[in-house]
Chain A
Amino acid sequence: MLNPDVVGRTYKGANSFTVTQESITQFALAIGEPNISVAPPTFSISISLAESQSLLQESGLDWTRVVHGDQRFEIHRPLVAGDSILCSSTIETARVVAGNEIVTVRSDLFAGEELVISSWSTLVVRA
């Protein structure tokens, strides 16, 4: 179970993630997207979900039982090669439904002071 104290807290990622052309190209190729001048709309999941995983594991959650429930991206502009991104994560809600723990994490991706993408991941921890 997640420690209830963590709900509502915001954690600033310690390490920045640099978006490379190679990582955009690899992601685009994997989904058959011909345009590699910007990152595809769901590209940022690899940044935000990695941050969510480390945050939730530190908060006592068993990641091996986690299933992705839903996902939203609010994109102010697409990520581009050269962006240096810091991810700030907030556990917005945590509740138990039918024995499964359901956690919503908001991830705000900043390039310097600029908020580039906000995303929300609902993660279900199977009982």
Chain B
Amino acid sequence: MTFEVGQELAPHTFLINRAKLIAYANASGDQNPIHQDEAFAKSVGLENVIAHGMFTMALAGRYVSELAGGSEKVRDFSARFTKPVVVPADLDVELILSAKVSAVDDGLVKIDLTAICAETKVLGMAKATFLA
């Protein structure tokens, strides 16, 4: 795939649910109950269970890997966690990833990412660099 500055890249929608949060908790070792236990999450003032920020970023990373043509090509990846992804029980929550090419230089492609959940941007300043 060739990349040009300003190019809009095909979006991808991921579905997030409670089972996936548990699988991510087990894979990452982050067992914070705010990501699994609704009663606990509400007791600390959250609306409901929220996804790990790093789970949202990991899904964005998978999107970047696909665009790059493989995880091994990803060289830099950053994001700010601006809004929580709220995950009610028995529901698949949509996370929509899209990206735009910001630079193509010296064999590297730089992209700006947008991650939307419930019509809200959940990642800020999300950027990635991969080998062309």
Interface 9-mer from B66-74, B86-94, B109-117: B66-74
Closest Cβ neighbor of B44 among chain A residues: A64
Interface residues of A (CB under 8 A from B): 23, 26-27, 29-33, 35, 37-42, 45-46, 49-50, 67-78, 120
Is the beta-carbon distance between A41 and B27 smaller than 8 angstroms? no
Interface string of B50-71 (1 = CB under 8 A from A): 0001110111011011000011
A31: contacting residue among B62, B76, B81, CB under 8 A: B62
CA distance A105 to B67 in the complex (A): 29
8 closest cross-chain pairs (CB), A and B:
A72-B78, A30-B27, A70-B80, A41-B61, A30-B23, A27-B27, A41-B74, A26-B27
Closest Cβ neighbor of A74 among chain B residues: B76
B125 at the interface (CB under 8 A from A): yes
B75 at the interface (CB under 8 A from A): yes
Interface residues of B (CB under 8 A from A): 14, 20, 23-24, 26-30, 53-55, 57-59, 61-62, 64-65, 70-72, 74-81, 124-125
**Binding site of A, secondary structure by majority: helix, strand, loop or mixed?**
mixed
Closest Cβ neighbor of A122 among chain B residues: B80
Closest chain-A Cβ to B99's Cβ sits at a distance in Å of 14
Is the beta-carbon distance between A46 and B28 smaller than 8 angstroms? yes
Q: Which residues of A are found within 8 Å of B57, using beta-carbon distances?
A: 42, 71
Given contacts A33-B62, A40-B65, is CB(A75)–CB(B74) below 8 Å?
Answer: yes
